[in-house]
Structure 1
Amino acid sequence: MAEPGYAPGLVEIARGWARRLANTKGVNLTDSELEALLLEFAADARAPVEAAREAATRRFTGLYSESPIGVVLADPEAKILDVNPAFTQLLGYGTDDLAGEPLAGLAATDDDADTIRSGIDSLRATGRSRRRERADLEHAQDGPIRTQVTIAALSGDTPGTLYPVLMVEDVGELTLLREALRKQNVQDALTGLPNAGSFVNKLETTLAAGGDDRLALVYLDIDGFRIVNDGLGPGAGDAVLRHVATKLATVFDRHDAFVARLSGDGFAVLLHGRLETTDVVDLVEEAMTELAEPVYVEGRGIGVSLSAGIVVADAPTADHEDLHRAAEITLHRAKENGRAQWMLYEPELDRADRRRYSIGAAIGGAIENGEFELEYEPTVKLDGSDEIAVVNAVPRWNHPEHGALGPRDFYPLADLTGMAPALGRLLLTQAMSEAAAWYREFAEAPDLCVRLPTRLAIDPNLVGIVRGELARTQLPPGKLRVCTDAMALLDPRGEVLETLSVLSELQVKITLAVSGAADLELVHTHRLPVGFVILSGPLVEALAADGAESDGARRHLGTLVERARELGVRRVGAEGVRNTEHAARLREIGVVAGRGKLFGDAMSGDEISSLIARRR
C-alpha cells in the first residue's frame, strides 16, 4: 500500500521539463542548469507537503496506538496486518499471533464469523464506510467476549481496492449493566419477586387476553411490621420480608400464580384460570398457616401474621383500576377488623367504604372552603329549673354530595388522614370566639364544652392552642370545658394526662365521657383532675326502655354515679335524653343535667344567644 503523500518520478519530471524549456526561445540555460533549478523549486514546494504528511502520519499513529477501542488492520483479502494495543489488551492477542490470519477467524462462533464476512462483503458491494454488528470474539485465554464490532475500510492505491478495518468494543459489562437495570425495573431487589410495575403490567396483560376464565387478586400486608423494623432494626425487617416472600412464592407458585412485592410490607398475588372463590380462600389460609411459625433472626423468634383482601372477578368484565382499588379497600377492612385475617370483597361493603374514604379524602379541602360550621347542643339542668348549664359545640359538615354530616361521620376519618388537629383547631377557634361574645353580652352565659377529637386531645401543642385562644378571645378559662374520653387517655402517641393537668391549672374545666365502669376508673388510676362526667352509650339508652332492661340499666348507672361521687366528681350529666320520663329516671339516680332530643335540636350560635337572652 503506497504511503500517503508519496510523489513518484520527481527527478524524471524535472528532467523532462528541463529539456522542453532548454529548446524554448529566449532561454540561455542548459538542460542540467534548468534541471537543477526545477528540482530546487520542487523541493521548496514539497517541504510543507512533506511536513503535513508527517504530521498526519503522527496523528494517525497516535490515534491508532492510544485509542481505547481495539483496532485491527487487514489487507484487501481480509488477512490481518496489524492490531493496536487496545485490541491486545481486550483479547490478549498481539500482531505476531494474528498476522496473516483471516479477520473472520477472530469470531468465537460460526455465526459470528459469518457476521464479519458478510459485513466485509457488504462494504465491498455497497461502498458503505462502516457497519456495526454485535459479535462474540474469542479471547486468547478467557473464552468468548461479547463485543460491538464496527466494520469499516480504508481506500487502497487502486480504485475499488479496500483495506478492511475492525474496531472492537467490549460490551460485556454494558450488557450486564443493562440486564441489572432491566431487573431493577421489573424485580424487587430485596426479595427477588416481581415489583409493583411488573405486577401492574401482568394484570393489564392478563385482562387484555380476555377469555372466559376468572381472575383473583389478593393483596396482603404484614401485621405489625413496623414493630419488627423499629424494634429489631432494618436487618431483621429485611429478613422477615424475604421469609414472607419465600413462603408466598412456595404456596402460590404451585398454582401458576404471579406473586409480587408492591412496596414496604405489601405483597400481591394474581391468579387466573378456572377459579372458585373457595379455592382462593384455601390458598390464602394455607399461606397464613405456613407463616404462623416464627422466623428466627439472630436467635430471636419473630412471629409473622398477614392480613389479606381477596377479590375474585370474571376477567372479561374486570378493569385493572377497579380491581386494584377493590383489593386495597378490602385489605384495609381486614386490618380494621382485627388483623391476622382475610376479607372477601363484597360490593355493598365496598360501596360503603368508598363513600367513607371519599369523605375522609375531602376533609382538607372542606376546611379550606369553609364547609364546616358549628352547632350547639344545650345541656339543661334536670332539677326542674330548665336552666342551661353548658352548651356543647358540635361541628357539622355541609358536604356538597352527602349533605349534613356529624362528627361520627368524619372524626375517625380525620384522625386517619391527619386532618383532626386542623379540624379541632377550627372547632376551638370558632366556638371560643362565639362563647366569648355570649359572655361579654351576658355575664350569666353558660359554659362552653368542646369535645376534642382524639388526635387533637393527644396533640402536645394542645395547651399552647388553648392558651392562645383564651388570650385572643378573652374568654375566662373557667367558662371553658374540655371533654375527652378513654380512647384519648389510653392512646400511646401523646402526653394527654400531663396536658389535662396543665389545662386544669389554667382553670379550664376537664370533662370525661364515660360509657362504663372501666372508663370511670381512669380518674382514680391516673389521678385525673376531672370536674364533670358525662354518661353515654347503651346503658343510658337502656334506661329509656321499659321492664327488666331499664331496671338493669338503673342499677349499673346508679353504681357509676355513686362511684363518681367517691372519686370527688359531684356533677354527673348524661347525653341522649329522649323524653321527660327518661330525664326523671336519670335525675332519680343522681344525674344533674342532660342533653338530647328532649331539649330540642342543635342550634346556631345566634340561636343560642337568643335563647340565653330569653331565659335571662
Structure 2
Amino acid sequence: MVASNTIKSDSARILVVDDNERMRKSLAALLEAHGYEVELADGGVQAQEWLERQHFDVAMLDLMMPDLDGFGVMRRLRERDIDTSVIVVSGDSSVDVAIEVLRAGAYDFVRKPYAPEVLLHAVENALEQRRLGQEREQMQRRMERSEQLHRYMVNKSPDIIYLLDSEGRFKFINDRVESLLGFSPRELIGKHHTALLPEGEVPAKDRFDERRGDSRRSKSVEMTLRCKQGGANPVVVENSAIQVELNAWGMYSSPEDGDRRFVGTYGIARDISGRKQAEETIRFQAYHDLLTQLPNRTQFKEYLEAALRRIQDQDDRLAVIYVDVDRLKIVNDQLGHLYGDEMLCTLATRLKACLRESDTLARIGGDEFGVLLPKVSGVEDAKRVAEKIIEILKEPVRLGEHELFASVSMGIAICPEHGLTVDALLTHADIAMYHGRDLARGSYGIYSTDMDGEFSRHLAIERGIRTGLDSGQFSLCFQPQVSSEHGNRLIGVEALVRWNHPEFGNVPPSEFVPVAEESGLIIMLGDWVLEQACLAMVEWRELGFNQVRMAINFSSIQVAQSDFAEKILIALNRHNLPGEMFEVEITENVLMSDMDSVSEKLGVLVKEGVTVAIDDFGTGYSSLSYLHSLPIQRIKIDRAFVRVIGETETESSIINAIVSMASGLGMEVIAEGVETDIQRSYLAQVGCEELQGFLFSKPVPSAEVTEILLNSVKKRA
C-alpha cells in the first residue's frame, strides 16, 4: 500500500480528474480557495499516472471520460492498493449508477451541478475519515507488538471478528458483537454459530461456517445477523437484525501435524447497515415524491402496470382517477411556495383518507395526483370515491393565518372500457379531468370518446403556435399609455399579442399563452413579439416620434433564460433603438422566483437605459425591501384596484398608499384598466402620472397608433 502521512487540514492533497476543462478548473479554484493543494488530470489515464507517482489524500473523479472512465480508475486503485479516498462528481444522477459507485469503493457521490458547500462538506468528511483511519492504522501497528495489544485491537475493531471450531461453535468472538447485536462474547462462546442467524437464513449458514480456504472462500458476502431481543443495550434494542458484509476463511492444520484436516473458521463481519440504509434512501427518492412521501409518477405507473396484469388474469375491472389541484399557482404566487407545499401535503392527507388500504395515491405532477383503484365493479365505485374527495375538501385548509378553500378537478377512466394500457388510461383520465374542469372547477368527468375532440383543441393550440408564427397568424396590438399631467398626451404603448387561428378564429391570450408557457414555445413567441415591437418603434421614429416608449410584458420562463438581457439589447442595437424607448414589464412573482439572478439581468438592462416596471403591483409579493433593492423605475397599479375606485374608502386608500410609497422611492406610477372619468380624475388627483385603459383607447394595430400620433401633432399645431 502506498504510504501516507497523517492528514493536516492545511496540507491535504487533492487530485481533480475531469475531461471538461472548465469544470476541472472551476473545481480546482473552489478547493484552492479553501486551502487545499490541488493537481489536475484531464482524464483517467493521466489520473492513473499521477496516483501511481505521487500521494493524494482525495481524488475528485468524473465518471464519464473518453480514455479511462471513473470505474476504470477505481478498479486500478484497488488493483494497486493505492490509498486514496475517491469522491465521484458526476452529472449522471440515476439510482443504479449512484449505488454502483458506492459499491465500487467510492467514499461519496456528488451530483452535478453541485452546491459548493455540499462538495466541500464531502471533502471534509473524506479527510476526517482518512485521518481517523490513519490513526487507527498507527494504533494497530503498535498493538501488534504483543498478544495483549493484539487482543485489544481485535476487541476494539469496528468489525465482528470470530473463530469457529470444526463443529461450527464459537471459540472466540470480539467485544464488537455486543455493541452491534447485543450479545456478550461470554454468552456466545461454545454455542453454535446459527444462534446469530435469523430463522430461514439457510444459504448464509454455509458462508458463516466457511470451510474453503482458497479463492472460492466467502468474500464480501452480504447477509443478515439477528440482534438479541429484550436486552438492555439501547443501541440494538430497536433492531431485530442488521446487515453485514462477511469475509471468512476455512482453517486447516499444518502439514507438520500429519493429515491436513479442517480445524475451524476465521471470519470478519462488517456492519453495512448505514450503506444499505443509504441505498434504500436513494431507491425511495427515485420512486417517491419527497414533499408528500407519496409514490411518484414512475412508481404509480409500475403499480398500474402490475394491476393491469392481475385483472387480465382474473377478468376484473380497475379505475384510474386523475386529480388536478385547482388554483395552486395562485397560492404559490400570492402566499409563497412554502404555503403551496403545505397545501399539497394537507390535500394528500385528505385524499388518502378517502381511499381503501388496497388503493394507491401518488403525486404524479406539480399539482397533480393519481389514484389507482385496483378492484372496482364499475364506474359507480370510482364516482363514489370522487364524490368523497369533493365532500372532504369542503372543509377549509388552514395555512398559517390564512384559511383557504381547496378544490380539485378529476377525471375517471375504467379498464377495460376506457383502455387496456398504462398510457391509454392515464391519457383518458387526463382528458376527462380537463372536460370536468371546463364544466366547473371542483368537479369530475368520466371519459368518453366524445371528449377526444375537446382535448385535441389543446394539442392543436400547441401545434398551431409553431406554424402560426411562420404563416402570419399572429399580430401585435398596442394599447396607448397617456400622461395625466399633459392633457392625456400619448407617451407610450404596451405591446399585446393577438392570434387569428384559421380554424378557431380569434384565440384569446388567456388560452394560448399558458399553452405556450407549458410547452416552452413562449420563448419563440416572445422573440417574435420583441422583433415586431422593434419594427413598430422604428416606423414611429422615422416619422419623428422619438419619445414613444414601448412596454412588453415578459413571463418568468423568458426571464429565467440566461440570455434574457442580451437578447433584448441585441434587438435594440440591430434596429438602432435607444434603451430609453424600451420598458420591460414583469410581475412581482417573477422577481421572487430567483431574486439575485433576476436582479442581475435587470441591472444589465437598466445600465443601457431600459426601464423596468412591476406589472400587476399589489397582487403578489408586495414588499418594500425588494422595491428598494432592485433596479425598478415604474410601478403599474393592477386593474383590480382601479376598478373599485369610489366604491369603498379602503380600496381608494390602497391606491393612495401605493402612489405615496412610489413617490418616496423615486418611482413613477402608471395605472391600468382605467375605464371611467371618475377613475381618471381620482388617479390624477393622487399623483398617478400615467394612465392606460379603454377610456383612452382599446388595443389597436400599429397603423392606428401612427394615426393617433399624427393627430396629436395636428392638435398642438
SS in 2 for 1:597: coil
Partner of 2:683: 586
Native 8 Å contact 1:199 1:260 kept in 2: no
Aligned residue number for residue 557 of structure 1: 655
Report if aligned partners of 1:511, 1:533 keep a CA contact under 8 Å in 2. yes
The C-alpha deviation readout for 1:141-194, integer Å capped at 9, x for no partner, is xxxxxxxxxxxxxxxxxxxxxxxxxxxxxxxxxxxxxxxxxxxxxxx9x96985
Give the 5 Å matches for 1:166-205: none
2:599 maps to 497
> Could you say what secondary structure the match of 2:691 adopts?
strand
SS at match of 1:602: coil
Cα deviation 1:417-452 (Å, max 9, x = unaligned): 111111111111110121122112214441111111
Q: Deviations over 1:305-331 (max 9, x none)?
A: xx9975457889756798643422567
Tell me which residue corresponds to 2:632: 530
Q: Return the alpha-carbon distance in structure 2 between the equivalents of residues 260 and 598 of structure 1.
A: 50
Return closer, same or farther for 1:194/1:430 CA change in 2, 3 Å cut-off.
Answer: closer
Supply the distance in 2 between the matched residues of 1:556 and 1:262 (Cα, whole angstroms): 41
Change (3 A) 1:260 1:193: farther
| SS, match of residue 572 in structure 1 | strand
Does residue 280 of the first structure (1) align with residue 280 of the second (2)?
A: no
Asked if the contact 1:218–1:308 (Cα under 8 Å) also holds between the matched residues in 2, the reply is no
Give the direction of change, closer, same or farther, for the CA distance of 1:389–1:276 in structure 2 (3 Å limit).
same
Gap change, CA 1:579 and 1:260, over 3 Å in 2? closer
d(CA) in 1 for partners of 2:538, 2:563? 22
Q: Aligned match of 2:445 in 323, 342, 345?
A: 345
CA contact (8 A) 1:310 1:343 kept: yes
CA distance in 2, matches of 1:192, 1:392: 46
Partner of 1:155: none
Q: How does 1:86-165 map to 2 (within 5 A)?
A: none
SS across alignment from 2:593: coil
* The structure with more radius of gyration: 1
Does residue 216 of structure 1 match 2:319? yes
- In structure 2, the CA distance between the partners of 1:531 and 1:525, relative to structure 1 (3 Å rule), is closer
Between stretches 192-201 and 595-604, larger displacement belongs to: 192-201
**1: CA distance, partners of 2:364 / 2:307:** 8
Counterpart of 1:345, as a letter, is G
**Are the equivalent residues in 1 in contact too, given 2:318–2:372 (CA < 8 A)?**
no
Give the AA of the match of 1:427: V
2: CA distance between counterparts of 1:486 and 1:318?
43
Number of equivalent positions: 373
Q: Secondary structure at the match of 2:570?
A: helix
Provide the residue aligned with 2:612 in structure 1. 510
TM-superposed CA distance for 1:482, in Å, is 1.0
- The 1:578–1:201 alpha-carbon spacing in structure 2 relative to 1, beyond 3 Å, is farther
What does the per-residue CA deviation read over 1:355-392, in whole Å, with 9 as the maximum and x for residues that have no partner?
Answer: 55653454233334332111100011123523101011
Distance verdict in 2 for CA 1:575–1:352, change over 3 Å: farther
Cα distance, 1:410–1:259 mapped onto 2, change above 3 Å: closer
CA distance in 2, matches of 1:378, 1:347: 46
User: Which consecutive residues of structure 1, in runs of 5 or more, have no partner in the other structure?
Assistant: 1-187, 225-243, 289-306, 336-340
Asked if the contact 1:310–1:330 (Cα under 8 Å) also holds between the matched residues in 2, the reply is: yes
Distance 1:366 1:205 in 2: 49
- Letter of the structure 2 residue corresponding to residue 566 of structure 1: G
Please give the residue correspondences for 1:214-613 in structure 2 after superposition, counting only pairs within 5 Å: 216-219=319-322, 268-273=372-377, 275-277=380-382, 279-281=384-386, 310-312=410-412, 324-329=426-431, 344-345=444-445, 358-360=460-462, 362-383=464-485, 385-492=487-594, 495-516=597-618, 519-521=621-623, 524=626, 527-543=629-645, 546=646, 549-569=647-667, 571-613=668-710
Question: C-alpha deviations, 1:120-149, integer Å up to 9, x for none?
Answer: xxxxxxxxxxxxxxxxxxxxxxxxxxxxxx
Cα gap change, 1:325 to 1:191, in 2 (>3 Å): closer
Asked if the contact 2:414/2:425 (under 8 Å) is kept, the reply is no
Secondary structure, in 3 states, of the residue corresponding to 1:490?
A: helix
Q: Do 1:536 and 1:575's aligned partners in 2 also have CA atoms closer than 8 Å?
A: yes
Q: Report if the CA contact (8 A) 1:259-1:269 is conserved.
A: no
Per-residue CA shift, 1:256-286, capped at 9, x if unaligned? x79999999977444431544564348989x
Distance 1:589 1:261 in 2: 49
Unaligned runs of at least 5 residues, structure 2: 1-295, 329-347, 394-406
Within a 5 Å distance, the mapping from 1:35-46 to structure 2 comes to none
Aligned-partner Cα distance in 2 for 1:442–1:502: 28
Larger helix fraction of residues? 1
Q: Using a 3 Å threshold, how does the CA distance of structure 1 residues 579 and 311 change in structure 2: closer, same or farther?
A: closer
Bigger mean CA deviation after superposition, 587-596 or 556-565: 587-596
User: Is residue 592–residue 621 contact of structure 2 (8 Å, CA) maintained in 1?
Assistant: no
Alignment partner of 2:635: what SS? strand
User: What's the secondary structure of 1:432's corresponding residue?
Assistant: helix
Distance in 2 separating the partners of 1:266 and 1:517: 32
Letter in 2 for 1:561: V
Residue in 2 that maps onto 1:97: none
What is the CA–CA distance in structure 2 between the aligned matches of 1:462 and 1:192, rounded to whole Å? 37
**Would you say the 8 A contact 2:466–2:521 is kept in 1?**
yes
* Counterpart position of 1:18: none
Deviation (angstroms), 1:557? 0.4
Q: Secondary structure at the match of 1:495?
A: helix
Give 1:531 deviation, angstroms.
1.7
Q: 1:191 to 1:496 in 2, by over 3 A?
A: closer
Secondary structure at 1:510 match in 2: strand
Separation (CA, whole Å) in 1 of partners of 2:632 and 2:389 = 49
Aligned in 2, Cα 1:272/1:386: closer, same or farther, shift over 3 Å? same
TM-fit CA distance, 1:589: 1.6
Q: Residue deviations 1:67-103, cap 9 Å, x none?
A: xxxxxxxxxxxxxxxxxxxxxxxxxxxxxxxxxxxxx
Using the alignment, how far apart are the partners of 1:473 and 1:413 within structure 2?
30
Q: In the aligned structure 1, how far is the partner of 2:491 from the partner of 2:303?
A: 61
Kindly indicate whether the alpha-carbon contact (under 8 Å) linking 1:371 and 1:398 is maintained by their aligned counterparts in 2. yes
C-alpha contact (below 8 Å) 2:432/2:447 kept by paired residues = no
Distance between the aligned counterparts of 2:300 and 2:480, measured in 1? 62
